[in-house]
Every structure is written in C-alpha cells, then in structure tokens.
Amino acid sequence: MASVPEEMLHSIRENPDLQEAFRQEILTEELLNLPAHFSAFHQQYTEDRTRIDQRIDQLEERMEQRFLEVHHRIDRFEQEVHRQTNQTNTRIDQLEERVEQGFAEVYQRIDQTNARIDQLEERVEQGFAEVHQRIDQTNVRIDQLEERVEQGFAEVYQRIDQTNTRIDQLDARVEQGFSEVHDRIDHLRMEVYEISRAQSERIDRVEAKLQRMENDLGFLKGSDRERYYRDNAPSVFGRYLTGIYIPPRDKLVDDAQVVRPLSDEELDELLFTDLIVCGKRRKDRNLLYVVLEISWVIDRNDVERASRRAQILAERGYAVAPAVAGNGVLPDALEEAQAQEVAVLLEGRTIHPARLGE
C-alpha cells in the first residue's frame, strides 16, 4: 500500500477546503450523508422517546386512579356485606322466635285434635250400634219383599204365557197380511214400471228436441258473431292493425303448404278456423295474422283451438296472434287465455290484448 507524503497530510490538515475536496473524492455519497442522517435519526429517536415517556407517565397516573377506585369499591362492598349480614342475623333471630311460638301453637292444636278424635270414636261406636239395629230391621223387610216378589213373578209368568199365545195368533194374521201386501206391491211395481218407461221415452224425445234446438241456436249465434267480426274487422282490430283485410282461405292454405307440407289434421284445422284477419301492426308495420275463434260464450276449448291453429301458421314463419271472441267468457277460459297469450274480445271490445298489443 502506498504511503501518503507527510507534507500532503499536513496541507490537508491545515486547509479545510482541501479537506472537504479530499473527502468528496474519497468517500461515497452515502458515507458523506451519514452524519446528517444520523443527526436526523437521533432527533427523531429523542422525540419518540419523549412521547413514549409522556404516555407511560399518563398510563401510570390512570392506573393509580383506577387502583384507588377499586380499593374504594372494595371498601364499600365490605361495608354492604357487613350490613346485610347483620340484617340477616336479626331476621334469623326473629324467625327462631316465631318458630318456637308456632310449635307451641301446633302442640296445643294437636291436643285439641286428640280430644275431638276421642269424642268422634264414641259417636262412631254409638252409630255402628244403631246401624246394626237398622240392618236387622232391613233384613226382615227384605224377607217379606222376597215373598212378594216370588208371588209377583208367578203372576208375570202367567201373563207372559197368555201374551205369547196372542202373539202367535197375531203372527199368523201378519203373515197373511204381508202376503196380500206383497201381491199388491208387485202389481204396483208393474204399473210404475210401465208409467216410468213411457215417461222416459217422452223425456228422451223432449231432450233430443231441446238438443237440436240448442245446436241450431248455437249455430245461429255463432254464425251471427262470425258475420259481425268479418264485417267489422277494421273497427274491431283497427286499434292494433292498419290495412286490415280477410285473406282468401284457400290461398293462405296453399302458401303455408309451400313453406312446409300440411298434414290432414293441420289442413282441417286451418280450413275450419272461424276467421283469419290480416293487417300491419301500427307499431312496426310488420304483417300480422289474427287467428280468431268465435263463440257465444268462450270456454277453454275455444282458447285451446285458437292457440293450436295459430301455432300451425307460426311454425311456417307467419307472425300470428291467437284470439277468441264472444259475448261472454268463463273464468277458467279467461285464465287459460292469459296463460297462453291468447287475446280475448267481448262484444267487439278487447279485454285482454295479449300478442295484439305487442
């Protein structure tokens, strides 16, 4: 290792600027800054230690205060225990006095009870003597009663024999009467059967006539309703559609057949649909086919037919809205229509638009 000349060392020691320049060249930046960092660390340590000592002093003061409070509470508790102990001892003394007095009263009442028991024993002995005497008297009366009962039973048996003889005579008369009654009942049954058969034939004829009249009336009402909705389609559906018309059924069936062949059942369903109305939606101008089933009173079958027949067209790409129309609707039919999204129209007014209002 090379030695530093003595003259250079002397110059460095005598010249502070030279010392600083020499220090900057030899020492790293971390070593140069170490005194400043150490001074800052020492100052921070001194401040932290001061705060810690202050908190320790405060904690000692609070602990001293808490210890004093605990000692005070212990003193009060000992005083309270002593007071309650004195009260308890006083009550025990009073209770002992009352118990002694109570035992004296109990012994006195036991003596009185024993005296009453002795008196009761005397009365019981006297009562038993009277009971035995009355039992003897009762036995005498029972013997007399047995004699009378024996005599009475003999008379009863005699009367029973007489009654049985009369019952045998009555049985013979009843048997003869029942035989006559059965003969008359059989005769009446034959007459009733003939009358009932004649009435049943008349009722069957009347019911058949009523059924034909009901069918004719339903057909007339249905035809009238179909004609109403056919003639008034623009006013009935104008709220939802524009450019309303009734498409030719044969052309509609042919077009659907082209898209996908129809089975015989599907063909019948479309041909027997009561009414199909076509128009453009007012909301989006898209073409919509309303598949309508019409009855005087709408039931679940009408709702199911409308939904089923509309589905045939929907499967072939047609935008459809199933609907039912009439003058009334059964509650279960209305629930079914709401569940299957089938529109409901009563007397030309829509009460449940379903897909018509989409």
How would DSSP label each residue in 162-217? HHHHHHHHHHHHHHHHHHHHHHHHHHHHHHHHHHHHHHHHHHHHHHHHHHHHHHHH
pTM greater than 0.95 (yes/no): no
Structural domain tally of the chain?
A: 1
Model pLDDT, residue 343: 96
The percentage of residues in the chain with a pLDDT greater than 90, rounded to a whole number, is 36
Query: Cα–Cα distance between 256 and 267 in angstroms, integer?
Result: 10
Question: Which of 120-129, 180-189, 243-252: highest mean pLDDT?
Answer: 243-252
Would you state the pLDDT for residue 221?
A: 46
Assess if residue 153 is contained within a domain: no
Q: How far apart are CA 245 and CA 22, in angstroms?
A: 110
CA dist list (Å): 33 to 15, 22, 28, 230:
21, 15, 9, 104
Is the model's pLDDT at 78 over the cut of 70? yes
Range of weakest confidence among 37-41, 147-151, 211-215, 343-347? 211-215
Return the closest-CA partner of residue 14 out of 3, 2, 6: 6
Among 2-6, 103-107, 112-116, 216-220, whose mean pLDDT is lowest? 216-220
Using one digit for the tens of pLDDT, what is the confidence trace for 59-74? 888 888 887 888 888 8
Q: Residue 213 falls within a domain, yes or no?
A: no
Domain presence at residue 120: no
**Number of residues in the chain:** 358
> What was the pLDDT predicted at 59?
87
pLDDT of residue 344: 97
Phi, psi angles (nearest 5°) of residue 195: -65, -45
**pLDDT recorded at residue 351:** 92
Residue 249 is part of which domain span? Answer: 232-357
pLDDT given at position 130? 83
Instruction: Say which residue, 337 or 184, is predicted with more confidence.
Output: 337
Grade residue 19 by pLDDT with cuts at 50, 70 and 90.
Answer: confident
Query: How many whole angstroms separate alpha carbon 99 and alpha carbon 105?
Result: 10
- Residues contacting residue 283 through CB under 8 Å, at least 6 positions apart: 358
Q: If you average pLDDT over every residue of the chain, what do you get?
A: 83
Residue 248: CATH number of its domain: 3.40.1350
Asked if residue 26 is part of any domain, the answer here is no
Whether 208 is in a domain gets the answer: no
User: Tokens for 166?
Assistant: 């009369």
The answer to whether residue 3 is domain-embedded is no
- Residue 170 included in any domain: no
Residue 237's pLDDT band (cuts 50, 70, 90): very high
Give the pLDDT confidence score for residue 197 in this predicted structure. 66
pLDDT(299) > 80? yes
Q: Assess whether pLDDT exceeds 80 at residue 32.
A: no
Residue 118, helix vs strand vs coil: helix
How far apart are the C-alpha atoms of 293 and 312, rounded to whole Å?
A: 15
Query: Does residue 202 have a pLDDT over 70?
Result: no
pLDDT tens-digit series, residues 265-274: 999 999 999 9
- Is 257 within 8 Å of 281 (Cβ atoms)? no
Asked if residue 262 belongs to a domain, the reply is yes
Model confidence at 181: pLDDT above 50: yes
Vertex 211: Cα angle to 208 and 212 (nearest 5): 90
Range in 161-175, 221-235, 306-320 with the lowest mean pLDDT: 161-175
